[in-house]
Structures are given as C-alpha cells and as structure tokens.
Amino acid sequence: MSLSLLGGVAQAAPAQAAEPPQPVIGQPAKDKDGCAKIEKSLPTLADWPKVDSRFKGKADDEARIAQILAGMTLEEKVGQMTQPEITSITPDEVKQYAIGSVLNGGGAWPGGNKHATQQDWLNLADAYWNASKTSRTKIPVIWGIDAVHGNNNVYGATVFPHNIGLGAAHDPCLVRDVAGATARQIRATGQDWAFSPTLAVVQDDRWGRTYEGFSEDPRITRSYGFEAINGLQDGATKRIGYNGVIATAKHFIGDGGTLKGQDQGVNPSSEADMINIHGQGYYGALAAGTQTVMVSFNSWTNADLGINEGKLHGSDKAMNQILKGKMGFDGLVVSDWNGIGQVTGCTNSSCPQAINAGIDIVMVPADWKAFITNTIAQVKDGQIPMARIDDAVTRILRVKIRDGLFESQKPSDRSYANSDEALKDNWLARDAARESQTLLKNNGNVLPLKPKSKVLVVGKSADNIQNQTGGWTLSWQGTGNTNADFPNATSILTGIKQDLGDANVTFDEKGDIDPKGYDAVIAVIGETPYAEGVGDLTRKTLEASKLYPEDLAVLDKVSG
C-alpha cells in the first residue's frame, strides 16, 4: 500500500489488486505410448506462460559465447545475422562476409538441378562449411531447408503426409517418428536446420497453407508441437548431436487465424485468443526445447480492441515482450522470406525496426549485400543499439554451440551423410499414410474390398504422384513433376494393382468405361498441388467440385 499527499492530507492509495501469478508450463504429461498427451482440455490462460524449456545446454556455454563475441568485429556480427539464399551466394562470399547461415528456398537445388544427388547436396554443404571454417572467426555456417514433410526438396527422398494428415492420425508418437526420420534425411544431404514444424492452429480452411498446420484444435497442435521438435532435435537437452537437426517453430504468431484465411493477412484475435488458441503449439515446442522460431508474415491488428501491432516482423510486443520476455525463449528468431520488407517504412534490405523488435537472423535471399551495408550503418548511427546486435549474435552462437557445430566434422563426414537408407523410409511413410486416412462413410460395408475384387479405377489423381505429394515437394508449388521424378514412390493405382493383381484392375482416368460388372469403382480425385498464397480460396465456397469440375464429371459418369 502506498501513501500519497493530497492537499496536505495523507491519503492511503487503494492497495493494488495483486497481479495473478504468470502461468508456467513445463514438460507435458505423457500418453500410454510415452509421447506428449493430447489433453482432453487445456486450462484457459490469463497471460502468456513462462515455458520451461528442457534444453539447458552445458554449463560453460555462456562463457564460451561471450569469449567468441568479444573477438568479433561489427561486420562479422552483422554477417552472422544475415541469411542469403544459395542461388545468390557463393562459398567464397560466405567467407568474405562472415555469413552465419544460408537457406535454399522451395525448388532451389544444388546447381539448379532438380535431380541433384545426395552427393551434390553434400558437396555444396561442404563448400559452405569449409568457407566458414576458414574465415577469421571460424564460426561454422548453418544451412536451413524447408523439410516440412520429409526432406521434400531432395530427389529420391521419401515424403510423408503433410501435417494436416498427421493431425488426422491423433498419434503424437507418429509425429515424433516422422520428425526423427526427417532429421536423418536432412543429415543425409548435409543441412543443419529444418524450417519446420508449422504450428498454425488453422481457423479458416480457405487459407492456402491450411494443410501445413496439424489441426484447428489447439490441444493437438500443443502435443504435436512438442513431439515434432522432440523428433527433429532428437530429444536433445544439451547438444543436438548425431541424429538431430536444429528445428523451427513457425510462424510466430497467428498465421492460421487471418481474416477469410488470407495468406499473410490480418489476424484480428484478442490477446486472450492469441494466448489460448494460436500460442498453444509454441508452448509444446518451447517445452521440447526448440532452438529457433520463425516470425510470421501476418499482421496482428484489431482497432476495436486497441491492438495495432501491424506486421509481426516489426512487433516488439510479439518478439521481445512475449516470446523472449514472458515465454522465456532463449534461442534465435529468424525472419521469413523478405519478411522485413513488409514492415512499414522498411525494404527487403533495410529494417532497423525488425531487428530492434527481436529478429536475430534476417532471411534476405537476394539483397543481402545491401542489407549488411545498411545494417552496419544503422548500428553506427545509433538506430540499432550495439546491445541488440550482441544479443542477436549471442543467441545465434548459443544455437550453434547447442547444435554441437563447433566440435562437428564437415557435413559429408557426419552420421547419415549420403545414406541411401536414411533418405528412404517407405515403411514409416506407409504407416503414416495409413494412419492419416479418414473414412467418412462406408455404405454397405463396401470396405475392405475382398481379395481379387474386380475394380474400375478412375480420376485424375489415381496415377499422378505429384497430386499425392502436394505442395513443397521437389518444387516449391509441388508442380512441374512427373511420376519419373519420384523413383521410389508408388502411385495409388500401382498400390491397388499390387494388392488386387493387375488383371483385376482397370484404369480409365476419364471414367468413360461402363462400371457395370465391376465389384467396385475407386475414384481418385481432389486438389492439385500448391503452396502458400496460391492455394487461398478467395472464393466463398469450399465446394471443391466448383474448383475441380473434372472431378464432378468423372463422378457423374461412373455413378450412372
């Protein structure tokens, strides 16, 4: 209670109502299989929780970081914060500019070759690695890759159902296993860092990236957020080590809650909904010790509620106050692809606001030289405090030390490098595909089909593997591929033939054959691949038949 003098008369100020204690979230309860349980309900949180990450690193890590930092120039510090794309930077430039990380965007392969071999990927990874290790600071570079359903950029890699399929399985241990397999696939080609999982809790299915989220249910996303990080980082608490890679909880925060599901649009959520819906995946991911978080393209704005954060890439509240402050995240925050350019007053190569708001690594695919020049100038003229730069580089070094990189060999000498076995995980993929199926109805118990049933198969996707794999597969949009681009994959038609025998299966894509005389007709239809905004359903309808009339036509024909 405090006393205040009012006109000479002491007046006791009313006692401040005690702030409710900040919630704290630790390790999740486990289900019967030993994985993070999908809770029946989640307690409503009145504030952002402090999340107790199980990843503590080793005792002397911080002293080591301080020692490395003290020996770095401003140019080297800004270089560590810069992430160019592999098509716009050479290994020599990585050394010259002391670059801290690189990425390949969806559809960027070594030498621009979609069929690049594991050895091609490893050769480029070694080149970047060797360049960084011969720089003045010798700080190892890290390579980030969008391995969002297996190592899906890589020719010959086994891909798994997208997150929405895994969400339908209600199986957190499956998510752990798929993530673990993905980590090994990434090590097989020499990268260090998975830009996954997406932890969007999707509220409007018109969003083109709905399939990248696990679920509209925060309970599932919370449990899966834990197990996805657990699998990718191999359950690490001190060093990520041989089986794991650096993981990314993305996109912080509220990417799945924009108006009309518009990609990169406005999320008008109250803070309570941000905490209790869109934040849940991060409570799981941070508890599992994710070492990186990627910022979201969307805005967080609701004038009626007095919320005016605008683009999250410039939101001090979201990154500094909430993620790093209240939630206690001590890893690094990476921006999204040219995301800083969307912040008011910024460009792709200049955004002191975004760095001051808490971004530690800036994903600047092409304009990275200008970004470095501008950012150094902005530190020198005081727009960006040196303390912020030092904090960003401290976080980057912390993640690299926790990844064991300072003791690591070059990528091609590491475990699983060039391992064909690691790259192919068909049995797990089949399990995942099996579990992700959703049976909507089974009239007349037509399923399961009897052995040797005579079946007519129709539809555009029966023998089209790229329609099975969707976006983020080989190419960014998942298009432009033929079955020959998937040497280890099985189309749905081939799988049916393997099961029933070729002689019992007739395939007619357009459905012109009279279905009479067949025990069953299997129509394989649906969406064609897309990624990001391309898939937004700006139309009012979710009726796929209006979007894919060819599917309705086939169904009309075979149903007589």
The amino acid at residue 423 is L
Question: What is the per-residue burial (b if ≥16 Cβ within 10 Å, else e) of 373-410?
Answer: ebbbebbeeeebeeebbebbbbbbbbbbbbbbbeebeb
User: Within 310-339, which residues bind ligand GLC (CB under 6 A)?
Assistant: 336-337
Q: Is 532 one of the annotated active-site residues of the chain?
A: yes
Q: What is the DSSP letter of 277?
A: I
Nearer to ligand GLC, 128 or 195 (CB): 195
Question: In the bound complex, what is the minimum distance in angstroms from residue 144's beta carbon to ligand GLC?
Answer: 7
Which of 227, 255, 532, 536 is an active site residue?
Answer: 532
Q: Indicate which single residue of 76, 126, 146, 309 sits in contact with ligand GLC (rule: CB under 6 A).
A: 146
> Which amino acid type is present at position 428?
L
Q: How far is the CB of 146 from ligand GLC (least distance, A)?
A: 5
Query: How many CB atoms sit inside 10 A of residue 60's CB?
Result: 10
- Residue with Cβ nearer ligand GLC (144 or 218): 144
Which residues within the stretch 98-137 sit at the binding site for ligand GLC (CB under 6 A)?
103, 105-106
Residue in the block written with tokens 């029933």:
500
Number of residues that bind ligand GLC (CB under 6 A): 8
CB of 256 to ligand GLC, least distance (A): 13
Q: Is 407 in the active site?
A: no
Residue 3 beta carbon to ligand GLC: minimum distance, rounded to whole angstroms: 55
CA distance 315 to 274: 14
Catalytic member of 76, 216, 234, 336: 336
Q: Which C-beta is closer to ligand GLC: that of 161 or that of 235?
A: 161
Q: What residue has token string 């980082």?
A: 233
Q: Which is nearer to ligand GLC, 79 or 107 (CB)?
A: 107
Round to whole Å and give the CA distance between 212 and 537.
15
Least separation in angstroms between residue 209's CB and ligand GLC is 8
Shortest distance, CB of residue 118 to ligand GLC, whole angstroms?
21
Q: Which of 315, 322, 376 is nearest to 340 (CA)?
A: 315
Which is nearer to ligand GLC, 251 or 324 (by Cβ)? 251
**Closest listed residue to residue 333, CA positions, set 341, 322, 342, 347:** 322
Residue with smaller CB distance to ligand GLC, 193 or 226: 193
Site for ligand GLC in 7-46 (CB under 6 A): none
Burial pattern 214-249, b for ≥16 Cβ within 10 A else e, equals bbbbbbbbbbbbbbbbbbbbbbbeebbbebbbbbbb
Interacting residues with ligand GLC between 161 and 200 (CB under 6 A) = 195
Contacting ligand GLC within 334-373 (CB under 6 A)? 336-337
- Name residues contacting ligand GLC, limited to 198-257 (CB under 6 A): 250
Binding mask 398-437 for ligand GLC (x = CB under 6 A): ----------------------------------------
Question: What are the phi and psi torsion angles at 242 (to 5°)?
Answer: -70, -40
Q: How many angstroms separate the CA atoms of 90 and 12, rounded?
A: 68
Residues 13/6, Cβ–Cβ less than 8 Å: no
Tell the smallest beta-carbon distance from residue 106 to ligand GLC (Å).
6
Please report whether residue 533 would count as binding ligand GLC according to CB under 6 A: no
Contact 542, 535 (CB under 8 A): no
- Residue found under tokens 């679920």: 215
Nearer to ligand GLC, 97 or 252 (CB): 252
Residue 188 tokens, joined: 């097989």
Residues whose CB is less than 8 angstroms from the CB of residue 544 and which lie 6 or more positions away in sequence, other chains included:
526, 527, 551
- Which residues of this protein are in contact with ligand GLC, per CB under 6 A? 103, 105-106, 146, 195, 250, 336-337
Q: Catalytic positions, please?
A: 336, 532
